[in-house]
Amino acid sequence: MGYDQFNEALAFKRGTFLVAPDGDYGLEIMYVGDEDSATVTVASDGNITFKHGDAAAEANDTSIGGAADSGATLDVSETTEDTFGECVDLINGSPNWKARIVDALRADSATDTLLAMAEYTLTPGVAKLLAKDTSTAFNLAKAFTLQTLNEEYAKDVHDDSTVAKVYGMSAVTTYGSGTSSFQIYYVVTDRYGVHVSETKIFEEAGGATTVAAEATIPEGGIKPGARDVGYKLLARISNSAALSGATDKFIVDGAAISALAREGLGVAS
């Protein structure tokens, strides 16, 4: 692992992150097929269409899709395609694409959850993040992870060699009714970022609608006590009704660092 790669891993050691509406991501996708070009479109209902072929003449990639589809489009209203976990599994079932979940859980609804995106042209081998529409996702989230489909150094610092912690969370959210809660999950992934297991390790009531709230995180932060390395942390404020405020915000103080970087440079976790 080179000097620049260590620096990049260390740059994410600790930081305070503001997640505003539509500022977190559901999926990261990458085209790995043999064609010269590929495109992805997210419709207003959250359906995802995949194409590939010659540049400016891409055609539907029929290797994508489940039993409910004719191929090329994930219909996220179908019961076999309406969660992020099901979407990722179907995308990764194609030899032409890779996908991982980012700021979400496998069981999170994908129905009308991704933010609409006009047809976007991907460079083969370069990943694209698909943003969540937080007015329908019901949560603002931040994953503390070094996992990525996009960068070469991920082969060395993917999540099976990651140490992560959450030091604090605060939020103001607007929702019509119901409840709000702070949550932290630790998520074990494979080397491509696909979730193998998800375990909730913290939950606490959030504030009433439009009321600022702060989670009571113990001094020293939270990480899964039973694991030293090999996970990402997902922190979020989750509401039981749709978020609706343009000024809603989730602020989380956390860290993710490669165990390789920590050992190589003597950095404490």
Over residues 132-161, the pLDDT tens digits come to 998 888 999 999 988 888 755 445 445 667
pLDDT value for 84: 97
pLDDT above 60 (res 205): yes
Which stretch of 28-42, 57-71, 160-174, 210-224 has the lowest confidence by average pLDDT? Answer: 57-71
Say which amino acid occupies 68. Answer: A
Q: What is the pLDDT of residue 11?
A: 47
Local confidence band at 6 (pLDDT 50, 70, 90 cut-offs):
very low
Residue 267 has pLDDT above 50, yes or no: no
- What is the pLDDT confidence band of residue 1, given thresholds at 50, 70 and 90? very low
Q: Domain segments of the chain: what residues?
A: 1-23+137-269, 25-131
pTM of the model: 0.89
Written as six digits, the tokens of 56 are 């400016």
Partners of 53 in the β-ladder: 37
CA distance 165 to 58: 43
Using the CB atoms, write b or e for 127-142: b if 16+ within 10 Å: bbbbbbbbbebbbbbb
Are 111 and 76 within 8 A, CB to CB? Answer: yes
Rounded Cα gap, residues 100 and 172, in angstroms: 28
Q: How much is the CA Rg of the chain, to the nearest whole Å?
A: 19
At 35-58, the pLDDT tens digits run 999 999 999 999 999 999 999 999
Can you tell me the mean pLDDT for 246-250? 92
pLDDT at res. 147 = 82
CA 78 from centre of chain: 21
Query: What is the overall mean pLDDT for the chain?
Result: 86
What is the structure's pLDDT at 148?
Answer: 82
Burial 47-56 (b: 16+ CB within 10 A, else e): bbbbbbbeee
The pLDDT > 70 percentage for the chain reads 86
Look at residue 146 in the predicted model and tell me its pLDDT: 81
Burial class (CB in 10 A: 0-12, 13-18, 19+), 8: middle
Evaluate if residue 111 carries a pLDDT over 70.
yes
pLDDT over 90, % of the chain? 65
Q: What's the pLDDT score for residue 162?
A: 81
pLDDT at 97 over 70: yes
